[in-house]
Structure 1
Amino acid sequence: MKKFIPAYLLTFVNVLGFSLLMPILPFVVDSYGAPKWVFGLLITLYSAFQFIGAPLLGSMSDAKGRKPILLISQAGTLLSWIIFIIAICLPEYQILGFALPLWIVALSRILDGITGGNTSVTNAYVSDMTTLKEKSYIFGYLGGIVGVGMIIGPGLGGITASTPIGYLGTLLTSVLISTVTLITIFKWLKESHPVEKRTLKQKVSLWEVIYIPLRIKKVDPSPMIKVLFSMKFFFSAMMGFYIGTMALFLIDLFGFNVKELGFFMFIIGLFLSFNQAFVSKFFIQKLGAFKTLILGLLCCAVGLVAITLTKNIWLFIPSYYILNLGLSLCFPVFNSLISVNANPKKQGEIMGISEAINSFCMACFPVVSAIIYTAIGSNLYRLLIILPLMALIFAFVGVKKYGKSTFQG
């Protein structure tokens, strides 16, 4: 499995780059006197530009190969962290009602977003290198690595931000990790998409990039993938609302500081890692990928309500575990099902659409979520159960229309 080490590391760094910031971004925003919704906006900016960048990187990798695109995208991530460091060293001049450093932080998130669509390329690389039987458990390993990143990131972010150099410690850690990853890709990642399998890169209009249904029509995927894309939209919308407010919710509920929030999210990451590395694999083997996805969506719906029922931290943790289990069951299964059923010549483009759906939701909903949360608080999560339930409806309609055998991946 040495051939997958660069892909594993790249997946880990992508998650770590996000999870490192989760416990510190709310406090960075607050330190410059900005309202809570700016936290959601910074997440939105990253995802909005990832939404534009992901399909372009995916199709470029189909035409030019995986390795050069991964090198370019990782270099962009490294540069974004350097810009973030510059931002917090700048004076707090006010520009249009916000401190100058916040504007530069926003710029760094935009750059990271444009080049951060490499998840689709990484998934395409893994798909290139795996057999049909290997795909489900290799993507399961990637899910486990996501869990490890979610464990280490928040704890590391909280600890490094608590040092005498503050947030600079977190950002320097990110620069170091991104540099190591860039070197690893350059030295050890072997091209998985040979010239004879590449497709000519076609000119794509901005409208084609933004309007996902047009891209799906152009690729013309199998009926199962169309259903999975619909399900992923509602799941990703739920994640957009969740990510845009969970850190704010934990701070309000338990009064956490940056270090405490980091450690608590470290515990959450432990759940996620265990569930993705072991529990999800167990359910996939016993139930199959599609039924595991159904179970995961049900757990998400129950968990969203459960976390609003208590302010006791010891009761909250098992309540949150239900939600966490649902997320853990869904994450690896979406990619494995899409990968197994995708046209091999269009892996990059199809994975790009999958990531674009996720990026679109992350681009639209975190800032909306933060605004709504400011108005109605934790009641937001009770409303969110509509989204996983809608995904379940699409699943059952798909089974009825296309037959059970289509959904046994």
Structure 2
Amino acid sequence: MQKKAVYSIAILFTILFLVMVGFGIIIPIMPFYIKKLGGGSTAIGLFMSVYSVMQFFFAPFWGRLSDRIGRRPVLLIGLSGYALTFILFGLLNSLWLMIAVRALSGMISSATLPTAMAYLADVTEGSERSKSMGIVGAAMGLGMVFGPALGGWLGHYSYSMPFFVAGGLATLLIPFAWTFLPESLPAGAKQVEKDKTRLSWAVVRHPLFVLFLLAFVMNFTMAMFEATFALLAAEKIGFGPKQMGTMFTFLGLIGVVIQGGLLGRLSRRLGDARLIKAGTWLSGAGLLLIIASASKYLMYLGTAVNMVGGSLQGPTTSSLASKANRGSQGAAMGLLQSFASLGRILGPLSGGALYGIHRHLPYWSGALLIFAVIIFSSDRITALERVAEIG
């Protein structure tokens, strides 16, 4: 990998780590903060989901814009929006203004992830691209390890402090990114929008639709897991907040090790298509193991298998999408993230409803859905890898 690419990836690692710290920093304090402002469970659910709703609609826009004007300005817009909205969170004392700013945050800061993925596609090739996607995935995983811990620690002193810290860090990062992050899109490639697909029924005819569908299903089932697992673990084996924190730290570290250390070598050896399929099957198997878990050791095993699967599948899906859609990386990454966001919107609602019927139903239905989509898409994923190899 060229020195310039390594340098740029390091900056993107820092940006996305910070973004995910900000995403995770609100998890331990938000229910208490919203309750303090007079809201209940409905307000908490609305606050958590409105970001993904905005991301669903706006991620494709930012991706297409980065194809036209370049990656660097769109990344800086996303980072600036992130800093502004988190500082506003710390200043507000109105529940509905908090929800409105959360929506604004989803609109603007959703520019970061699809544009970062497109940036990586610009500066890397072949197995190096899968490795770089894994490194970025590791940054996001680390952010989700440190974010909740930081939020819980700072929130002990003040509910506003975590927001000011996250917004302040982003503000400090803006001049750094402005100075040191070069543009990755060649000047001659700007103003050319080869991929004109929008969020409509026409997207089912997109060459990458099978990857979009896989991104939706994997994020949908993960969101069902996240929405119900604390309840399931408490009922089955008596886990409390302390045990849950330990488990999620353990899972985050697994994701970091795989995506940051192993994925590049595995991609060179096996290829993206095999890793996507293996990861998807492992994710479904992990959900079945969780159902069968009657002790904390089996529960750790089931969640670890599920995490390994997701860590293999997620970055390699992004990598294959970028390789098979040359010339419109931003548009492809935007659509991919939009489908992932749709899964994160619908997953918690579906998981909660299914859990009310039977505590294992979100996991049975999630596993069956995962197995169905990989059986349906297996040959198409292999064909996309061939297209990517031909170039």
TM more than 0.5 = yes
State whether structure 2 residue 103 is matched by structure 1 residue 114: no
User: Whole-Å Cα distance in 2 between the matches of residues 359 and 243 of structure 1?
Assistant: 14
User: Whole-Å Cα distance in 1 between the matches of residues 314 and 20 of structure 2?
Assistant: 13
SS at match of 1:184: helix
User: Whole-Å Cα distance in 2 between the matches of residues 183 and 403 of structure 1?
Assistant: 39
Deviates more, 1:240-249 or 1:360-369: 240-249
User: Aligned ranges for residues 75-224 of structure 1 at < 5 Å?
Assistant: 75-87=80-92, 90=93, 100-101=94-95, 103-117=96-110, 118-161=112-155, 163-165=156-158, 167-199=159-191, 209-211=198-200, 213-215=201-203, 217=205, 220-221=206-207
Pairwise CA RMSD: 3.0
The offset of 1:186, in angstroms, is: 1.4
SS at match of 2:184: coil
Match among 224, 245, 248 for residue 241 of structure 1? 224
Match among 258, 261, 273 for residue 278 of structure 1? 261
Matching residue's letter, 2:46 = L
User: Whole-Å Cα distance in 2 between the matches of residues 397 and 226 of structure 1?
Assistant: 13
Match among 312, 315, 333 for residue 351 of structure 1? 333
Matching residue's letter, 2:108 = T
User: Whole-Å Cα distance in 2 between the matches of residues 8 and 29 of structure 1?
Assistant: 31
The offset of 1:76, in angstroms, is: 1.2
User: Whole-Å Cα distance in 2 between the matches of residues 108 and 139 of structure 1?
Assistant: 30
User: Whole-Å Cα distance in 1 between the matches of residues 232 and 65 of structure 2?
Assistant: 39
Matching residue's letter, 1:182 = I
Deviates more, 1:277-286 or 1:76-85: 277-286
Matching residue's letter, 2:135 = Y
Match among 40, 47, 51 for residue 46 of structure 1? 51
Match among 369, 378, 381 for residue 387 of structure 1? 369
Change (3 A) 1:265 1:316: same
The offset of 1:65, in angstroms, is: 1.3
Residue segments in structure 2 that go unaligned for 5+ positions in a row: 1-5
Change (3 A) 1:85 1:266: same
Matching residue's letter, 2:103 = I
Match among 331, 339, 362 for residue 322 of structure 2? 339
Matching residue's letter, 1:131 = E
Change (3 A) 1:404 1:275: closer
Deviates more, 1:106-115 or 1:177-186: 177-186
User: Whole-Å Cα distance in 2 between the matches of residues 407 and 19 of structure 1?
Assistant: 34
User: Whole-Å Cα distance in 1 between the matches of residues 326 and 198 of structure 2?
Assistant: 20
Change (3 A) 1:67 1:406: closer
The offset of 1:282, in angstroms, is: 4.6
User: Whole-Å Cα distance in 2 between the matches of residues 407 and 252 of structure 1?
Assistant: 47
- What is aligned with 2:285? 302
SS at match of 1:335: helix
Deviations 1:92-122 (A, max 9, x none): xxxxxxxx42x23322221111013221111
User: Whole-Å Cα distance in 1 between the matches of residues 35 and 80 of structure 2?
Assistant: 30
Preserved contact between residue 273 and residue 381 of structure 2 (Cα < 8 Å): no
How many aligned residue pairs are there? 382
User: Whole-Å Cα distance in 1 between the matches of residues 77 and 385 of structure 2?
Assistant: 42
SS at match of 1:307: helix
User: Whole-Å Cα distance in 2 between the matches of residues 140 and 53 of structure 1?
Assistant: 24
Preserved contact between residue 232 and residue 391 of structure 1 (Cα < 8 Å): no
Change (3 A) 1:171 1:371: farther
The offset of 1:336, in angstroms, is: 0.8
Preserved contact between residue 272 and residue 385 of structure 2 (Cα < 8 Å): no
State whether structure 2 residue 26 is matched by structure 1 residue 21: yes
User: Whole-Å Cα distance in 2 between the matches of residues 196 and 302 of structure 1?
Assistant: 46
State whether structure 2 residue 41 is matched by structure 1 residue 58: no
The offset of 1:403, in angstroms, is: 9.3
SS at match of 1:385: helix
Question: Could you state the TM-score of these two structures normalised by the residue count of structure 1?
Answer: 0.83
State whether structure 2 residue 304 is matched by structure 1 residue 321: yes
The offset of 1:36, in angstroms, is: 4.1
Preserved contact between residue 54 and residue 116 of structure 1 (Cα < 8 Å): no
Question: Could you state the TM-score of these two structures normalised by the residue count of structure 2?
Answer: 0.86
State whether structure 2 residue 388 is matched by structure 1 residue 370: no
Deviates more, 1:141-150 or 1:319-328: 141-150
- What is aligned with 2:3? none
Deviations 1:6-55 (A, max 9, x none): 21112212222222223333444555675545444333211110111111
Q: Percent identity?
A: 25
Deviations 1:115-165 (A, max 9, x none): 13221111111111223342121112112222222222222222222x322
